[in-house]
Structure 1
Amino acid sequence: MPSFGDLNRVNTNIQSLDSQFSLNRINSDIAENQLKMSTGKRINRAEDDSAGYSIATKLRSRVGGLNQAMQNVGDAKSVLDIAEASYSTVMDSLVEMKSLATQAANDSLGDTERDFIGDQIEALGKDINEVSNQTVYQDYELLNGSQNSNGTGTNSGSLSLEFQVGERKSDTISTDVNAVNVGELFASGGDQDLGATTTNGGAQAGGTAIQASQATAGSQGALTFDDGASSSDYREFISAVDSAINTMSENVNSIGITQSSLSVREETLSQSISANESAKSRIMDTDFAKAQSESVRLQILQQTATSALAQANNGPQSVLGFIG
């Protein structure tokens, strides 16, 4: 602001310099306000609000992790949906096995008819193994248990999966997808005799009528029905099928529990994403109503500052009156 008597000096126009400074500051504010409106962000550089910029960056990082975690949950549900669908197919095969075994357990059938039924049940066992082979997601054979270190063959047991369902290290959900091949369903403890020994003409013959072999590396086990298996052999086999059906029911229940947990986590993630996005928006985003009001105010100040500068530049003309 010029001091008393400055207007009488021509060489340095203090009033003009002050007006230029004011106009430049207003023009800078206008440019800043236009940047906020064009980008939609209140903070475009760290110098705009260093603390707010740091907080918003952390929130943005968290939102990115939460969004990916949401995608991970969707992928995890897809994996379990595939396993569940195959479990359902295996269960259908077991139910059909029980129906056939119940039919063969009736003494109204002869040995030839029972042999036909045994062939059908063996085929159903092969179908179960084939379902296990074909249930694949990415590089995982979901229903064949844990794989060897080289990725080939199968071991008994289950496939352990751990899903990253959050943006923190500890945000995981683990589940085991149990193997459901013939070896696991009918002979998890080793080769198992599922029927009494056969007899031929009243004399005991060697071997067992019905046998299930254990799944080992590179194999999945198999059901074997000898010719001449009796109705009592099939009655024993009914119990084995019932046990396999119970095992499948437990497997489905386990997957259902994990699917429910994933659904809850999906809802929680959705709420967390919304809350964090809202917090980031309050810090980073432009309030357009406020920015527009500020734009009008600055435009008026720009016009008045321009007018003041013009008057200041004409001020030295009054000095001519002293020398005229």
Structure 2
Amino acid sequence: MRINTNVDAMRAYSNYVTWNAVKSKSLLRISSGKRINSFADDPAGACIAVKMGAQVSGLKVAKRNAQDGISLIQTAEGALNETHSILGRMRDLAVQAANGTLTYEDRAAIDKEFQALRQEIDRIGNSSQFNTINLLDGSRNKITLQVGANAGQTMDVELSDMRFDAIFKTTNGKLSVTDANGQTVDVEMGLCGSQETIKKYNDAKDAYNAAANSLALAKAKGQNTSALEQEVAAKKAAFEKVGQDLNREGQNYATIVMNQVDKAISTVSLQRAGLGATQNALQHTINYLENSAINLSDAQSRIEDCDIAEEMMNFTKANLMSQVAAAMLAQANSEPNTVLTLLNSLPKANAF
């Protein structure tokens, strides 16, 4: 029997410490809900879980990016919806102006609204923005969206210039056409006619009005008006001739505008169709990202999260073994006391 070194107690204490450590780790896992609370718990598993966590986070951000892309498309598409409405009104005005019962003054009144609508198309194209990014002025032909957790996983939103000249295929509001003589001429996108013919009409009108006023004044004074009457008749005929020419030209211009409006409607429709297709693709991308994030989170959870039922079983076992080890440590510590029994059994020395 030895009293300086109690090997049984040392072994019982070692087991007690070991099971206490197991119990402490189980308590940490149960309280945190994590199987891996530090890289020491599972170095390889921790590396995989961290990488998966970064991917899950990236997928969630990519989903928000795709949703922002849909918002951008809806902004552009809403602006083009108004452009379509304006083009429809423009076509109505062109149909009205093509009617032969109208005079130049009638077409001039109709053209005022047409030109105001033209300016509104340009205003919409120049001012349509998303987060201060111009969408329809031709400054950007595409916007690239990051719709994945990794580099290169992108989607492009195709954009075009949707201002008047771009959709009507004109230059500064003028369309180049080939006339009956095979000559290329610039036709102004209006419903009245060319500025040159309008000027001739106004000059002839002013000349006729001036002559008519002179005739009226001469008659009022009792003067001989035969020469003035001939002049008035000639200027009236010239004015009516220019008026007829302007009316025919106005009808032709209205027909040209009508055809160009039809083409512009098709151009805007193609742009809206492209935006709609991209929006649908982004919606599918959002669904894919959501499912990927869920599945990847599930895989990460299997690596990183704690199975509470299993860990409670481990804790119960560790707790029981810790108590047993403590009891055995107490028993081992009591064994040296038997030495005292032996010592007490020694004969007592005789007294002198």
Provide the residue aligned with 1:150 in structure 2: none
Provide the residue aligned with 1:95 in structure 2: 88
AA at the equivalent of 1:256: G
The 5-angstrom pairing of residues 271-286 of structure 1 reads 271-286=291-306
Query: Contact 1:196–1:232 at 8 Å: present in 2 too?
Result: no
Identity %, equivalent residues: 28
Provide the residue aligned with 2:42 in structure 1: 49
| Alpha-carbon shift at residue 189 of structure 1 (Å) | 6.4
Provide the residue aligned with 2:13 in structure 1: 20
SS of 1:163's equivalent? Answer: strand
The 5-angstrom pairing of residues 46-195 of structure 1 reads 46-146=39-139, 159-187=141-169, 192-193=174-175
Return the alpha-carbon distance in structure 1 between the equivalents of residues 28 and 331 of structure 2. Answer: 31
Query: Contact 1:194–1:211 at 8 Å: present in 2 too?
Result: no
Runs of 4+ in 1 over 6 A off after TM superposition: 194-197
Query: Contact 2:170–2:176 at 8 Å: present in 1 too?
Result: no
| Alpha-carbon shift at residue 314 of structure 1 (Å) | 0.7
Return the alpha-carbon distance in structure 2 between the equivalents of residues 22 and 224 of structure 1. Answer: 105
Residue correspondences, number: 287
Find out whether 1:314 has 2:307 as its counterpart.
no
SS of 1:175's equivalent? Answer: strand
Q: 1 or 2, which has the higher strand percentage?
A: 1
Return the alpha-carbon distance in structure 2 between the equivalents of residues 139 and 78 of structure 1. Answer: 13
AA at the equivalent of 1:241: V
- Larger deviation: 293-302 or 54-63? 293-302
**Larger C-alpha radius of gyration, 1 or 2?**
2
Provide the residue aligned with 2:272 in structure 1: 252
Return the alpha-carbon distance in structure 1 between the equivalents of residues 333 and 193 of structure 2. Answer: 109
Provide the residue aligned with 1:267 in structure 2: 287
SS of 1:12's equivalent? Answer: coil
Query: Contact 1:210–1:237 at 8 Å: present in 2 too?
Result: no
AA at the equivalent of 1:177: L
Q: 5+ unaligned residues in a row in structure 1: which ranges? A: 1-7, 147-157, 198-206, 213-222
AA at the equivalent of 2:127: Q
- Larger deviation: 292-301 or 48-57? 292-301
Return the alpha-carbon distance in structure 2 between the equivalents of residues 102 and 194 of structure 1. Answer: 21
AA at the equivalent of 2:167: L
| Alpha-carbon shift at residue 322 of structure 1 (Å) | 1.8
Return the alpha-carbon distance in structure 1 between the equivalents of residues 170 and 308 of structure 2. Answer: 68
| Alpha-carbon shift at residue 263 of structure 1 (Å) | 1.2
AA at the equivalent of 2:150: R
RMSD: 2.2
Query: Contact 1:105–1:234 at 8 Å: present in 2 too?
Result: yes
TM-score normalised over the length of structure 1: 0.83
Query: Contact 2:193–2:253 at 8 Å: present in 1 too?
Result: no
Q: Structure 2 vs 1, CA of residues 100 and 211 (structure 1 numbering), >3 Å: closer, same or farther? A: closer
SS of 2:141's equivalent? Answer: strand
Q: Which has the higher contact order (CA 8 A, sep 6+)?
A: 2
Query: Contact 1:132–1:143 at 8 Å: present in 2 too?
Result: yes
| Alpha-carbon shift at residue 37 of structure 1 (Å) | 1.1
Provide the residue aligned with 1:241 in structure 2: 261
Q: 1 or 2, which has the higher helix percentage?
A: 2
Return the alpha-carbon distance in structure 1 between the equivalents of residues 187 and 75 of structure 2. Answer: 35
Provide the residue aligned with 2:232 in structure 1: none
Query: Contact 2:84–2:265 at 8 Å: present in 1 too?
Result: yes
Q: Structure 2 vs 1, CA of residues 115 and 254 (structure 1 numbering), >3 Å: closer, same or farther? A: same
| Alpha-carbon shift at residue 58 of structure 1 (Å) | 1.0
Deviation string, structure 1 residues 298-318 (Cα, Å, up to 9, x no partner): 221121111111111111011
